[in-house]
Amino acid sequence: MTPDYTFETAARLRGFRRIAGVDEVGRGPLAGPVTAAAVVLDPARIPAGLNDSKKLTPKARARLYDEIMQVADVSIAHATVAEIDSMNILRASHLAMMRALAGLRIPPDYVLVDGNMLPRDLALPAETVIKGDARSQSISAASIMAKICRDCVMLSLAQQHPGYGWETNMGYGSKSHIAALQNLGVTPHHRRSFRPVHNML
């Protein structure tokens, strides 16, 4: 399965013109923010090779990131660890999505959201697309932008807090990350509401 423009075309046939794809990255990690991107593609200038960011090589992701930035309206936003802990990861993911949509240069008139649940505060016409990053080119573009930006955040945090392996595990609960938590303790960037961290506290 490779993403195409079918969902976007269907929305355009119903009269919508600025269709944003939205995706988030970072629901599962024990550390770091959750990051969302909103992307409005120009149907006449869609970069070749768009796909779910997890299926792309780092080199392909980097190339597509640059191309998407040149031809699309892109906005990237985060929800912090404190917000994740205070409201839960689903609501924090939706908050990041809403912030990303609000940051677009021109507001969209239709939204394609990866997953099976719309953010509850979303007032725009919208639909969910299960496995959207592998089905919709707008959502796959958003998945690429969110992935690269969150990875950059984690690389920066890895320099500030060496020893947890964030430069490779990106905050996910790898064996080495769990071992580092036990040996080095919990940082301000760890999600205290997530069980492995919560149990250590």
**Does the structure show a pLDDT above 90 at 134?**
yes
d(CA 41, CA 87): 31
- Ligand-binding site membership of 109 (annotated): no
Give residue 1's pLDDT band: very low, low, confident or very high (50, 70, 90): confident
Cβ-contact 102, 74 below 8 angstroms: no
Question: pTM to 2 decimals?
Answer: 0.95
**Does the structure show a pLDDT above 90 at 115?**
yes
Give residue 43's pLDDT band: very low, low, confident or very high (50, 70, 90): very high
Query: Under CATH, what is the fold of the domain 6-150?
Result: Nucleotidyltransferase; domain 5 (3.30.420)
Cβ-contact 104, 20 below 8 angstroms: yes
- Ligand-binding site membership of 121 (annotated): no
For the chain, what percent of residues have pLDDT higher than 90? Answer: 96
Q: Which tokens in the block code for residue 48?
A: 């070749």
| 89-105 confidence digits (pLDDT tens) | 999 999 999 999 999 99
- How is the chain split into domains, by residue range? 6-150
**DSSP 3-state assignment of 8?**
helix
H/E stretch holding 38 reads strand 34-40
- Ligand-binding site membership of 24 (annotated): yes
Give residue 39's pLDDT band: very low, low, confident or very high (50, 70, 90): very high
